[in-house]
Amino acid sequence: MFARQFRVKSNTAIKGSDRRKLKADVSAAFPSLTADELCELIPNKEELNVVKIYAHKGDAVTLYVLHKNPLFFELEKRLYPTVYVLWRHPALLPTFRTWPPVLEKLIGGADLMLPGVVAPSGGLPNVKRGDCCSVTLVNNRAPVAVGNAASSSEEMLSAGMKGRGVCVLHAYMDHLWAFGDKSGPPSFPDAEGEGQERCEEEEEEQLSSEKVKDQPCCGSEALSLATMDALLLQCFLHALKRKVKKSELPLLTSTFLRNHMFSCCPSGKQLDIKKSSYKKLSKFLQAMQKQHNLIRVKELTKGVESIVEVDWNNKELRYFKVVEETNGDAAAAAQDGGEAEPPYHPPEITTLYSVSARLEPLFLDANKRKGTILQPAEVRHIVTEYVKKNELVDENNKNYVTVDPTLCDCLLEKSEYQEVQSLKWDDLFGRALGKMAECYEVVFPGHAPVRKKGHMEPIDVSVASRGSNKKVTLIKNLDAYGLDPAAVGAALQRRVQASSVLQPVPGSKDKVVVQIQGNQIHQVGRLLTDYYQIPRKYIQGLDKAPKSGKK
């Protein structure tokens, strides 16, 4: 639920009556808490804040925050503890154990599936469908996630431990955790947890082997250790410079390898840590930390390492140049079984303004005639120079500009001629831009700029009904942004496992609309904004995504 950034609506100090009500609600929801423990969690005199937020799906949530750490969150009139509370009271909720590699999936918003649950010798906790429960990792009883049981314990066992186990609402390292002090979980040894290190090594080996299978082979000769070490460093620097954002930190090392380093491997080569002198990802990252001072790695959860800091000013990183692949490289990759399609780069769209006939007198001193296209900054500069040249700045208040006959004719309405004697600077610039004809410039990589009148039409995403209560998602105007509708449809089809087709746009010869089964607005938004990097302001209709529903 908090895998993506939420929006804060209000942040106020709690009232005395609300504090007493919160205590009573917490005591009723979690009866195992003693009176002293309750007073420690919700002290009578320390400042406690009520923060109302909207989750990324539109759900209204109330947070109760003490010392900048969220203690509880209220969703649909039900209280849930955060990991900060559970680290102080790990036995507060029924607990399901899982392996450390699963934590990465939970952080990304996934639910805990029953095949990943490690059943203790005493059996599963006794829960009913919808009961609040927590998730811990093997070898540490400190909870790392909170959610609701997807079914009762009996139903889980009768289903052969298949299907969804816990519907996760909040997890360690998500945005709700980041709203606090970002501290790591304490270490509460779990006597039944064994084999964790072996499991993580197997996961790392599996990640490497899976990527090797997916990547094209560059020949029968194996890369030497030195060559593989150089390739590792190249992909590492490339990933830090182009892929990793500061907002992503702390970043799981396994996520960094899978999502960033592998994607930076040049076409025709394969990245295999086992064939390097380091042999393991952890040793390679330790070398990057100690010898190159590029990153700082920390074990935030026992057995799970994360990159917590990147030195963006490091000279080695600053002077590293990413080698762009040429068309020849792409063709060679295609022959070896890779994809020859060049990567998509979104166009640069700039809003411009054309001098209208009415505003021409205002721009004569700058030799700008009717039809001249200007940047917004150029308009502000020309108007400012006109005001200074004609000494129109109000002597008593520098924030105002006196309206002379030219400004009156160009910027005021007829009803304002006798009433408005001066304008604020912002109002002056706003009126000037408002009276000009809007146009825009589109620049695709490798192509000459194209200027057109009007405004850039956004990509339109909508939902339509087909037949009896069947819905389809329609995506229009992709070609204006240089996107291939067929490629977008195929990508969506793989993501949501639903059929997609291209339909011709009525009244147009060469334009098509992508149609995909179901209400897929949320997935379409993620694909366009995250993968294709289209700015959200150029996508219309994302607000029509379903607000709630089963995960």
- As a whole-number percent, the residues of the chain with pLDDT over 70 amount to 88
Mean pLDDT of the chain: 83
Is pLDDT larger for residue 334 or for residue 399?
Answer: 399
Cα four-point dihedral sign 411, 416, 418, 419: negative
pLDDT of residue 548: 53
> Distance between CA 6 and CA 59 in Å, rounded?
10
The whole-number pLDDT of residue 112 equals 93
Q: And the tokens for 402?
A: 């006196």
pLDDT of residue 145: 94
pLDDT at 339: 40
Residue 513, classed as helix, strand or coil, is strand
CA distance linking residue 71 with residue 80, whole number of Å: 9
What average pLDDT score do residues 413-428 get? 88
What does the pLDDT look like over 313-329, one tens digit per residue?
Answer: 888 888 777 766 544 44
Distances (CA, A) of 480 to 44, 224, 474, 483, 526: 60, 47, 16, 7, 19
Q: What predicted TM-score, i.e. pTM, was given to this entire model?
A: 0.41
- The pLDDT of residue 482 is 86
With a cut of 80, say whether residue 303 has pLDDT above it. Answer: no
The string of DSSP codes covering 99-148 is: -THHHHHHHTTPPEEGGGB---TT-S----TT-EEEEEETTEEEEEEEEE
> Which residues have C-beta within 8 Å of that of residue 237, sequence separation ≥ 6?
294, 316, 317, 320
pLDDT for the residue numbered 545? 76
Q: What is the pLDDT of residue 187?
A: 81
Task: Give percent of the chain above pLDDT 90.
Answer: 24
Q: Is the pLDDT of residue 418 over 80?
A: yes
CA atoms within 13 A on the CB side of 45: 0
The mean pLDDT value for 522-548 works out to: 85
- Read off the tokens for 13: 């100090």
Report the interhelical angle of 425-434 vs 376-389 (nearest 10°): 120
pLDDT in tens, 116-162: 898 887 788 999 999 999 999 988 889 999 999 999 999 988 888 88
Average the pLDDT over each of 6-15, 299-308, 346-355, 362-371 and give the range with the smallest value: 299-308
Q: What is the pLDDT of residue 216?
A: 43
pLDDT at 172 > cutoff 80: yes
Task: Give the C-alpha separation, 88 to 94, whole Å.
Answer: 15
How high is the pLDDT of residue 458?
92
Phi-psi category of residue 55: left, alpha or beta, with phi > 0 → left and psi -120 to 50 → alpha: beta
> What's the pLDDT score for residue 342?
58
pLDDT (tens digit per residue) in 60-79: 999 999 988 999 999 988 99
How far apart, in whole angstroms, are the C-alpha atoms of residue 148 and residue 170? 10
Local structure of residue 365 (DSSP, 8 states)? G
- Tell me, what's the pLDDT at 190? 67
How far, in Å, are 77, 523, 527, 528 from residue 531 at the CA level?
36, 11, 5, 6
Are 157 and 124 in contact by the 8 Å Cβ rule? The answer is: yes
What's residue 268's pLDDT? 66
Predicted confidence at residue 131, as pLDDT, reads: 93
Q: How far apart are CA 209 and CA 8, in angstroms?
A: 43
Q: How far, in whole angstroms, is CA 115 from its chain's centroid?
A: 28
Q: Which residues fall within 8 angstroms of residue 17, CB to CB, at 6 or more apart?
A: none
Is a pLDDT exceeding 80 seen at residue 474? yes
Pair 25, 87: CB distance under 8 Å: no
CA dihedral 260, 266, 268, 269 (to 10 degrees): -70
Contact between 205 and 279 under an 8 Å Cβ cutoff? The reply is no
Does 292 score more than 90 pLDDT?
Answer: no
Q: Where are the alpha helices (H) located in 292-439, listed in sequence order? A: 315-318, 327-335, 360-363, 376-389, 405-411, 425-434
> Average pLDDT, stretch 415-429?
88
Confidence category of residue 80, pLDDT binned at 50, 70, 90? very high
- Which of 100-114, 185-199, 452-466 has the least mean pLDDT? 185-199
Out of 88-102, 195-209, 228-242, 301-315, least confident range: 195-209
Of 183-187, 291-295, 444-448, the least confident = 444-448
* Tens digit of each residue's pLDDT (9 = 90 or more) over 339-394: 444 567 888 888 899 999 998 899 988 888 888 999 899 999 999 999 999 899 98
- Please give the Cα distance from 148 to 169 (Å, whole number): 8
- The pLDDT of residue 224: 63
Pick the range with the lowest mean pLDDT from 90-99, 194-203, 484-493.
194-203
